[in-house]
Amino acid sequence: MRVSSQDVTVVALLSDPDAPTEIAQRMARILPARLADKSGQGRRFDVEVVSEPFTAGTEDQPTLMRRIMDRGRAESWDIVVALTDLPLHSHGRKLVLDLSHEHGLALLSLPPLGGLRLQTRARRAVEEAVLSLTGPRATGAEGLPRSQPLLGPFVSRLAPIHPGQVGEEETADLRYVVSGPRGYLRVLLGMVRANRPWRLVPGLSKALAAALATGVAATVNSTIWSLAESLSAPRLVIAAVGSVALMSGWLIVDAQLWHRSAEASKEARQKARLYNASTVMTVGIGVLVCYAGLIVINLAWALFILNGQVFASTTRTPLDATEYWTLSWFVASVATVGGALGSGLESDEAIRAAAYSKREQERRQMLQDNDGD
């Protein structure tokens, strides 16, 4: 690791565009003070954020480390910490962090940090990475062999993260991975968080327009009134679940979001299951957000347009708060089915752009190109 003059260590946060860059920019505001306080050596830190797609075209860990090393050599940085929202794999395990003390490099994959408190967890991981790269192990002090894992706060805070296997030919000399059911769940939630499923609603303009039009028409339909009044709560729940599942399934099938690996290896099948699970959760959460929005809009429309006397004469039930809620709930289910039909007017590219982050879109396109070859 290089050390700048005047006891100042320059740390570059090399971040993939979109969510990783936003996370890096937020942590860069407080990192210099926190690193200087924790290092306790009178050293100052300058933190720079560089946003560029360093993972473009590959998710191979050794290739990424070489790219980071080449990028660092071209600049006057002492330490380079690269952040990506792609799930990375190494020796059958899900990679969290790679460190190269010799070159002052770190590669952090955000999905294994989970979907909750991501900003805090990412900041802690970066802090521990930088302190490890500037600490005594980087110079071989205290007689520690370079191959011996140095367990510290990073592992204890972010369990079930633990040291992983590092090949002799690799640039990295220390690796952290996740494994087991808890590790799988954290990666899955992290992937869903990176995709930002709430962006699915504004991204599907034609489907949303069809759902809104269906809801407006259904709210003033006397047959819908009678149906809503006749349905019990369990049937309303079944209608809601069925409509959300129908729209989610239709989006996945119509836009060909389901990934089928051309490889027959166990690792390839595990990756495919992970990617497909993240797709189902991403689309499902996005549709649920849309469904909740439809309930609110339908309720507002019903409060404005419905006449209590006309409703009572048709259904023989007074129009009170319970009836408004029941009708809006049922109409949201009907409107969601209409939105599923309207989603057929969306292009596959528009649906993918709404469902996935930029890096995930590139990754899936790369997988399709490889399978086509």
DSSP tag of 316: S
**Dist. CA 230–CA 218, nearest whole Å:** 16
How far apart, in whole angstroms, are the C-alpha atoms of residue 102 and residue 246?
53
pLDDT at res. 47: 93
Three-state DSSP at 103 gives coil
The residue length of the chain stands at 373
- Cα 366–chain centre separation: 18
With bands split at pLDDT 50, 70 and 90, how would you rate the model's confidence at 356? Answer: low
Q: Residue 355's pLDDT band (boundaries 50, 70, 90)?
A: low
**How far is 192 from 199, CA to CA, in rounded Å?**
12
Pairing of strands 88-90, 174-178: unpaired
Q: Which of 168, 335, 148, 149 is nearest to 240 (CA)?
A: 335
pLDDT at 28: 94
Q: How far apart are CA 56 and CA 59, in angstroms?
A: 8
If you average pLDDT over residues 38-48, what whole number do you get?
85
The pair of structure tokens assigned to 327 is 């009708």
Q: What would the pLDDT profile of 77-102 be if each residue is shown by its tens digit?
A: 999 999 998 888 887 788 899 999 88
